[in-house]
Amino acid sequence: MLGKLRIALWALVLIAAATLALLLTRPEPRPAPPSGSELPLTAIGGPFTLVGADGKPFASSRLAGKPFAIFFGFTHCPDVCPTTLARLTRLRRVLGKGEDALAIVFVSVDPERDGPAEVGAYAKLFDTPVIGLTGTPAQIERVKKQYAVFSAKAPQPGGDYSVDHSASVFVMDKAGQFVATISPEESDATALAKLRRVAG
């Protein structure tokens, strides 16, 4: 009787030790990478449904057959977002193939503050077509994952917040396949060469 109990107790000790060992040796869950390096580049993109400036669903199938440059930001962004969109509209003009040769898509990562009206007004700021999109928080989270986009709220003095977000533009070909990223640090010449690969 006592012997059986001893064996049972030792078995428990062994199980506990094994569990502990497993917990200690298991790698720490890695924090989300800031620029989504975990996703293979070829996997970037895919079909999405968001909400357009008219408040109606906007399916990515509407971009089918047309190359596009997609950028994630927020309308309360005073510097990086308008700078990036201004650059894209300028480069599209330099391409000289017309507005239909490349769609410029802006997706809000701040759906709390950016409704269809906000993204619509923001996209209209430019004197050339820019597609402004928002969505439900779940829709935005999903498309962020598809494009390996990072974003996080950053509190500002006075209770307001800014949004830290991936700064790169994704260049997609007419089949919706990922071709290249354009980072803010790259020269216009480099950026233009990438756009030419899809809209040359």
CA–CA distance, 67 with 59 (Å, rounded to integer)? 15
Q: Which of 31, 158, 159, 187 binds another protein (CB under 8 A)?
A: 158
Name which of 119 and 143 has its Cβ closer to another protein: 119
Q: Which of 11, 12, 14, 83 binds another protein (CB under 8 A)?
A: 83
153 binds another protein (CB under 8 A): no
71 binds another protein (CB under 8 A): no
177-197: burial string, b at 16+ Cβ within 10 Å, e else: ebbbbbeeebeeeebbebbee
CA–CA distance, 74 with 81 (Å, rounded to integer)? 7
- Binding segment toward another protein, per CB under 8 A, in 23-31, 40-48, 156-164, 171-179: 156-164
CB atoms within 10 A of CB 126: 17
Report how many residues bind another protein under the rule CB under 8 A.
38
CA–CA distance, 184 with 176 (Å, rounded to integer)? 22
Which residues would be at the binding site for another protein (CB under 8 A)?
A: 34-35, 75-80, 82-83, 85-86, 89-90, 117-118, 121-122, 124-128, 150, 154, 156-158, 160, 162, 164-168, 183-185
